[in-house]
């Protein structure tokens, strides 16, 4: 830590796995579409390499399944989806996320109220 204020990109680094898993829980998706959905959700600072690297790591860790969908017009697309391991990982990670964010929100609310 350099003592500077937390910015969104720093926070995101720790939770990109969770965000990517949440996108894939909606429906199977390919790399660029995951990136677009994250940006549309209000995370414009996410980089393509971060999403691609995260997908590869989650895949290697056995949390995702993958398959290629051929396309006549564009390139073939590699879709990723959650498998049972990925769903379990998402459930556990979401629980941890809510525990932390609830606690921090309570602390911040208390600070606001005392102002």
Partner 1 sequence: MTDTTEVARYAAAVRAALADLPAAERESLVGDLEQHLAEVGAESDVPLDTRLGAPEAYAAELRVAYGAREPGKPAGRRLYRGGVAVIVGAAVVGGWLVVSKSQQLSGGGLRWINILMPNLILLLLIIGFLYYMWARAAGRRGGGA
User: Which residue ranges make up the site for partner 1 (CB under 8 A)?
Assistant: 13, 16, 30-32, 47-54, 56-57, 60-61, 68, 74-78
Q: Please report which helix (H) or strand (E) contains residue 94, including its range.
A: helix 84-114
CB closer to partner 1, 78 vs 103? 78
- Pair of tokens at residue 50: 């971060």
Minimum separation from the CB atom of position 115 to partner 1 (A): 37
CB closer to partner 1, 7 vs 112? 7
Torsion of CA 74, 51, 104, 88, to 10 degrees: 90
Minimum separation from the CB atom of position 108 to partner 1 (A): 28
- Pair of tokens at residue 30: 């390919």
Minimum separation from the CB atom of position 68 to partner 1 (A): 8
CB closer to partner 1, 63 vs 90? 63
E-assigned strands of the chain?
29-30, 64-69, 77-82
- Pair of tokens at residue 6: 């937390």
CB closer to partner 1, 31 vs 86? 31
Minimum separation from the CB atom of position 53 to partner 1 (A): 3
Handedness of CA 51, 43, 87, 92 (dihedral sign): positive
């Amino acid at each position: 830590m350099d003592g500077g204020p937390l910015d969104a990109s720093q926070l995101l680094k720790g939770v990109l796995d969770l965000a990517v898993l949440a996108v894939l829980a909606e429906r199977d998706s390919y790399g660029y579409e995951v990136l677009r959905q994250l940006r549309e959700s209000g995370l414009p600072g996410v980089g393509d390499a971060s999403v691609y690297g995260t997908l590869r790591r989650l895949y290697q860790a056995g949390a995702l399944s993958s398959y290629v969908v051929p396309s006549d017009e564009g390139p073939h697309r590699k879709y990723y989806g959650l498998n049972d391991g990925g769903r379990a990982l998402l459930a556990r990670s979401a629980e941890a996320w809510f525990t932390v964010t609830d606690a921090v929100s309570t602390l911040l609310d208390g600070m606001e109220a005392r102002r």
